[in-house]
Chain A
Amino acid sequence: MSRVLYRHLNLLILSRARQIQVLTINKRYYQITHKGPTKFSTHLFEQKLHTSTALHKVIPYTLSDIGEGIFEVTIKEWYIQPGDTVKQFQEICEVQSDKAAVTITCRYDGVIKKLYHQQDALCKVGTPLVDIEVADDVEGGKVEKQEADSGKDEVTPSVDTTTDREVKVLATPPVRKLAKDLGVNITDVIGTGRDGRVLKEDLHNFVKPLYDSKTPTTVSWQPRPIVTSSEDKTMKLTPIQTVMIRTMTLSGRIPQFGYCDEIKAGKLREFKKLLQDIYSSRDGISLTYMPIFLKATSIALSRFPILNSVYDETEGTMIYKPYHNIGLAMDTQHGLLVPNVKNVEQKSIIEIAVELMEMHKLGVSGKIKPEQLTGGTFSISNIGAIGGTYSRPMILPPEVCIVAIGRIYQPGGIGDYVINTSYSADHRVIDGATVSRFSNFWKELIEEPALISAELT
């Protein structure tokens, strides 16, 4: 102690010459009040007794918000008493509210001066828990709001124009990294650590208000005004609606079962990309997944012809059709249409693609020909082009089977791409095993498109 005092006195003599305001010994800040040429400030000796604080002041430490709208807690146990020296993060008491036991830790280093509540008393959130004597640079020593321009990197010290000294933001490297990851300018954050250090908790508290609100702060969203019309609006049914009503009512009478599966679409995507690259540049044909699906379906139907048949209720017969006229559910501006591609079994993928391009143009302009809408033997709904995974499509009579294909996506956002298929079949004449085997075969073709070439006639 005397050695420190001696050093201290030396520095004091020096400081008298140079009028240094702030003096540090072993990283402890001392403020020297200069009383005159011969007198030392008695303040120096007082400081020796407090090992970690310079000037001190007593501040109330309030109970911070516990969340969940809790406004009051019961003090269950005090871990400290007046006169105790506490360190930052030391547990000072245990409180309880509504079945939640909460341990309160102290934010500052200091000496407890007063406890505001007895054990078992109630304390309101935001009111003082204890009075604590802290170093003067606490609160004032926290990082001031910087007037430095925001272009400055948060790592370099910023200039504080008020006191005209360089103010470094104190923070450990992990905290700086976290600030960077969170996109927070560390100089904006008030540090509550020792010497105004910015802590992880401070970053969380700073960031929390932004993340609490579900909408991003940069987007201003206005709720749509609710428009209520004064009366009902009666509309006549469109032709497409009339057809849909008739078809779906008939369909509803068919006992249908569903079957779903998930297919890996990695190789399909590559295959499609390959075809697309070649045929769009060379021949101007835009290729989607549909021609591939149609061709694979046709190949599979050759193996399972019962799914390409028609059930004649009146005759009590199954009519196996020699051609694969595969219908494609199309969402046009007028509504749902299911034009079919005739004789898919005789067409190549590219020929199907060309036909689909034309069909799409006709569909957009509302000029689909009636013969395209009849004579279908099997249907595909590519609802995945809009969205969805699994669905429950309804059979279009007099067909006996339909498949709906969902979108291609990566579950969880990473890994293999998959595509979901959902079949519905007429359970009066088709059994689950048949659909399952059909689906497995179709799946093999899609998961390994090279197999399609092996099946071509």
Chain B
Amino acid sequence: MLGSILNLPRNAKVLRSLSFDPFYNLALEDWLFQNIDFTNNPLVLFSQNSPSVILGSFQNPWKEANIKYLKRNGIKLARRSSGGGTVYHDLGNCNVSILTTKWEYDRKGNLEKICKVLRDNFFISCQVNKKLDIVYEGFKISGTASRIARGKAYHHFTILFSSDVYALTESLQSPLQDIIKTNATPSVPSPVINLSSVNEHLNADSFYSVYSDAVLRECRDACCYEIPADMHEIVIHSHKLSSWDRVYRDTPKFRISINPNIELVIEKGRVTTLEGNASHILEPLLKTRLCYQEFVPKYEEIVENFSECYSENNTLGFNTLIQNLP
């Protein structure tokens, strides 16, 4: 059904997703990327997500996100297929994804168009910096990521209007970040600002109408579509994206230093090796997934069996880790 709307021989389509589920929107983007031919048919996908943290494709969720805070506040955690760093999304920001052939891939051009729209319609003067962030007076208002595969490419970016900056800061600060050693892509934190504090008329809806208007005026025979939030194929794919396998198992190999004497090596989300002079005690932890359900019972088993090594004050440093398990 989706295919029959979009495979018309027209130039440029603006799509707006009616779903606020981050997994659904990521699945939608993936589906469009895999199934639609972008030759003479660039797509602009506009979406918003309920509070969630989105990791880059090869990042480490334990290191990038404050899993304890996320669980307590019902914030979802997802992994996208493009590169870049971890971002916090909520209804106060919007996500724009521009899907084209790889020959039309032009990240700087896309972002400069945004700056132009903001300047002409909302009188906000922003610049695009070398990292392809959009910056207003030194504060970041947009982050970029992209993906290229098989002659197609997409460039997606966020724009901050009235996001919960407190939640953003808390969510992206992991207590485990210092004890995790990895080659995964690190996130670079930047100070941010909400654009609606600069111009109160600017919000996701007003931006969408102005930006889609600008895109449509540029392209001949362009049109707008709203994508419903319950398309069957997309829902099925979104289940895959919300699974443990995608979010946690796809993390590249990394190490956790519980203390100078204990190091866990995690591959595919499971403990595969123990290093250090306490490794014989910690054997039950091998092959467990790094999640509360599997890890904690084994850990408590160890505590029981080796109670003489443990006391209230000496938990061998596992407390922080256990509090931050998904």
Shortest CB distance A108–B (Å)? 16
**In contact, A105 and B82 (Cβ under 8 angstroms):** no
Interface 9-residue window, one of A94-102, A366-374, A398-406, A440-448: A94-102
**In contact, B103 and A102 (Cβ under 8 angstroms):** no
Which of the four size classes fits the interface of chain A?
A: 20 to 34
Q: List chain A residues, Cβ under 8 A from B144.
A: 99
**In contact, A77 and B58 (Cβ under 8 angstroms):** yes
B326: Cβ under 8 A from any A Cβ: no
Shortest CB distance A77–B (Å)? 7
Contact A101/B150 with A412-B220, A412-B221 known, Cβ cut-off 8 Å: no
B97: Cβ under 8 A from any A Cβ: no
Interface 1/0s, chain A 193-206, versus B by CB < 8 A? 00000000100100
B6: Cβ under 8 A from any A Cβ: no
Contact A100/B82 with A105-B150, A204-B103 known, Cβ cut-off 8 Å: yes
**In contact, A100 and B102 (Cβ under 8 angstroms):** no
B84: Cβ under 8 A from any A Cβ: yes
Contact A76/B149 with A101-B82, A120-B183 known, Cβ cut-off 8 Å: no
B168: Cβ under 8 A from any A Cβ: no
Shortest CB distance B258–A (Å)? 23
A68: Cβ under 8 A from any B Cβ: yes
Which B residues lie at the A interface, using CB under 8 A?
Answer: 56-58, 81-85, 101-103, 105, 107, 131-132, 144-151, 183, 185, 220-221, 252
B148 partner, pick from A66, A89, A413, beta carbons under 8 A: A66
A76 partner, pick from B57, B102, B105, B151, beta carbons under 8 A: B57
**In contact, B58 and A102 (Cβ under 8 angstroms):** no
Which A residues lie at the B interface, using CB under 8 A?
Answer: 66-68, 76-77, 89, 91, 94, 96-103, 105, 119-120, 201, 204, 208, 412-413
Closest to A120 in B: B183
The CA of A102 and the CA of B155, in the complex, are separated in Å by 12
**In contact, A68 and B220 (Cβ under 8 angstroms):** no
Closest to B220 in A: A412
List 25 A-B pairs, Cβ < 8 Å: A67-B102, A76-B57, A76-B252, A94-B57, A94-B58, A96-B57, A96-B58, A96-B83, A96-B185, A98-B132, A99-B56, A99-B85, A99-B131, A99-B132, A99-B144, A100-B83, A100-B107, A100-B147, A100-B148, A101-B57, A101-B81, A102-B148, A201-B151, A204-B101, A204-B103
Closest 3 CB pairs of A and B: A103-B149, A99-B84, A101-B83
The CA of A94 and the CA of B102, in the complex, are separated in Å by 16
User: Secondary structure at chain A's binding surface: helix, strand, loop or mixed?
Assistant: mixed
The CA of A100 and the CA of B147, in the complex, are separated in Å by 5
The CA of A204 and the CA of B151, in the complex, are separated in Å by 10
Closest to A208 in B: B103
**In contact, B147 and A101 (Cβ under 8 angstroms):** yes
Closest to A97 in B: B83
Q: List chain A residues, Cβ under 8 A from B149.
A: 91, 102-103, 105
**In contact, B150 and A89 (Cβ under 8 angstroms):** yes
The CA of A201 and the CA of B151, in the complex, are separated in Å by 8
Q: List chain A residues, Cβ under 8 A from B148.
A: 66-67, 100-103
Shortest CB distance A111–B (Å)? 22
Q: List chain A residues, Cβ under 8 A from B85.
A: 99
Shortest CB distance B180–A (Å)? 15
**In contact, B102 and A99 (Cβ under 8 angstroms):** no
Q: List chain A residues, Cβ under 8 A from B183.
A: 119-120
Given contacts A67-B102, A103-B147, 9 further A-B contacts (CB under 8 A): A76-B252, A99-B131, A100-B82, A100-B146, A100-B147, A101-B82, A101-B83, A103-B150, A201-B151
Shortest CB distance B73–A (Å)? 27
Closest to B253 in A: A119
**In contact, A413 and B132 (Cβ under 8 angstroms):** no
Shortest CB distance B177–A (Å)? 19
Give the most central of A66, A98, A100, A103: most B CB within 10 Å.
A100
The CA of A94 and the CA of B149, in the complex, are separated in Å by 9
A68 partner, pick from B57, B81, B107, B145, beta carbons under 8 A: B107
Q: List chain A residues, Cβ under 8 A from B147.
A: 100-103
Q: List chain A residues, Cβ under 8 A from B105.
A: 67-68
The CA of A412 and the CA of B102, in the complex, are separated in Å by 26
Shortest CB distance A202–B (Å)? 11
The CA of A208 and the CA of B151, in the complex, are separated in Å by 13
**In contact, A119 and B150 (Cβ under 8 angstroms):** no
Closest to B57 in A: A101
The CA of A413 and the CA of B219, in the complex, are separated in Å by 12
Closest to A103 in B: B149
Shortest CB distance A275–B (Å)? 33
**In contact, B82 and A99 (Cβ under 8 angstroms):** yes
Shortest CB distance B281–A (Å)? 31
The CA of A66 and the CA of B144, in the complex, are separated in Å by 17
Q: List chain B residues, Cβ under 8 A from A67.
A: 102, 105, 148
Q: List chain B residues, Cβ under 8 A from A96.
A: 57-58, 83, 185
Contact A99/B150 with A120-B183, A204-B103, A412-B221 known, Cβ cut-off 8 Å: no
Shortest CB distance A64–B (Å)? 11
Give the most central of B82, B83, B149: most A CB within 10 Å.
B83
Q: List chain A residues, Cβ under 8 A from B103.
A: 204, 208
Shortest CB distance A254–B (Å)? 29
The CA of A102 and the CA of B147, in the complex, are separated in Å by 6
Shortest CB distance A177–B (Å)? 13
Contact A99/B146 with A67-B102, A76-B57, A204-B151 known, Cβ cut-off 8 Å: yes
Shortest CB distance B121–A (Å)? 18
Closest to B58 in A: A76
A101 partner, pick from B102, B107, B131, B146, beta carbons under 8 A: B146
